[in-house]
């Protein structure tokens, strides 16, 4: 055998090794990002309640009600958006409203009742952010089932 006969095998081996190495590094990076997201959420949960409250209140929904509080109530589901591959959290929350003075909901007793919902947060550039998306009358598991085309489960928070 001369050197010319070994050349295709060496190129194939180099390409295969590079591909496996790149795949491994990519997977490691995703695992590190997931661990970082979980730890960040755990350390900042109380502050993140305020982030969700402010973002959700700025949406103007539901009409005629003012957001008073938004409390995380249980473990969240960590999911990955299927289109962007970015991390998100589906968080069970209890939301409290007050009717807007002079609005349609003023005087309606049920308007002040606490409501269960699922808040959606995104992990972007190393920080949790919210656009105010809140899914009322469903648990995170319900939201994951309903939005199965959008999200895939990464793992349960601990």
Residue 20 has pLDDT above 70, yes or no: no
What does the pLDDT look like over 85-125, one tens digit per residue? 899 999 999 999 988 888 777 777 778 889 999 999 999 98
Q: What average pLDDT score do residues 11-20 get?
A: 72
User: What is the average pLDDT score of the chain?
Assistant: 85
The Cα–Cα gap between 138 and 115 comes to: 10
Residue 8 has pLDDT above 80, yes or no: no
Half-sphere exposure of 97 (CA within 13 A, CB side): 26
Say how many residues make up the chain. 158
């Amino acid at each position: 055998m001369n050197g010319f006969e070994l050349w295709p095998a060496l190129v194939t081996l180099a390409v295969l090794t590079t591909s496996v190495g790149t795949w491994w590094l990519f997977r490691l990076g995703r695992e590190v990002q997931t661990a970082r997201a979980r730890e960040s959420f755990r350390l900042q949960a109380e502050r993140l309640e305020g982030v969700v409250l402010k973002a959700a209140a700025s949406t103007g929904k539901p009409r005629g009600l003012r957001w008073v509080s938004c409390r995380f109530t249980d473990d969240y589901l960590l999911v990955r958006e299927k289109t962007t591959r970015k991390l998100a959290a589906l968080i069970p929350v209890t939301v409290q409203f007050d009717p807007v003075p002079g609005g349609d909901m003023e005087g309606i007793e049920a308007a002040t009742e606490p409501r269960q919902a699922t808040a959606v947060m995104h992990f972007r550039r190393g920080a949790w952010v919210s656009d105010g998306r809140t899914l009322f009358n469903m648990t995170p598991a319900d939201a994951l089932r309903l939005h199965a085309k959008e999200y895939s489960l990464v793992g349960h928070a601990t």
